[in-house]
Amino acid sequence: SSDVCSSDLAAIAASPSGTIARVPGDTSVGTSMVWVDRSGRQDPQPIATGHMWEQPRLSIDGTRVAVGNRDGDNPDIWIVELARHLSTRFTLAPGEDESPIWSKDRILFRGGGTGGLQSKPADGSAAETGVKIDFNLGPGSNPHFSSVSPDGASLAAYAVSATNGEDVFIID
């Protein structure tokens, strides 16, 4: 059996109810998604296996997972509907899309070919659009957006840059 905190973890996400989703192992050889309850019992999920799933993020209501798929030359974000075991490609534009974040009615992610913050309705009803964020972390910075406040007014992020090292910040 695997330890939930072992070093082979590719990614992990937890819902407010305490459910944990993890993508175990080395993402370079394909992964599967596994639910882990509080006692450590693992329940593999019947979604497409053999893909390079990473960075799972549970929806606020716990019914869906936004997860990166690094297959091929155009990594995208997919949505997994947990009750139906259905996975659907969420991002379609060229460029690397990663690091999904759920807000009340949208999914924010890093991508669109620029690495900048993108936004798309969580129901997929419209195309992704760029989000203007006015901050400067210096040359060579690499921001990663990690969560949205419950009211949607603030965004937590972290960045690594040659000049500042590692920084954590809140964008209002």
**Interval 118-128 mean pLDDT:** 92
Quick: pLDDT tens for 47-97.
666 677 788 898 988 889 999 887 777 889 999 888 888 888 999 888 888
Model pLDDT for residues 2-42, shown as the tens digit of each residue:
334 333 444 556 666 666 665 555 545 566 777 778 888 88
Other CB atoms within a 10 A radius of the CB of residue 17 amount to 8
The model's pTM = 0.74
Comparing 57-61, 126-130, 141-145, 164-168, the range with the smallest average pLDDT is 141-145
In terms of DSSP bridges, do strands 9-14 and 20-24 run parallel, antiparallel, or are they unpaired? Answer: antiparallel
User: Which tokens hold the place of 107?
Assistant: 């999914």
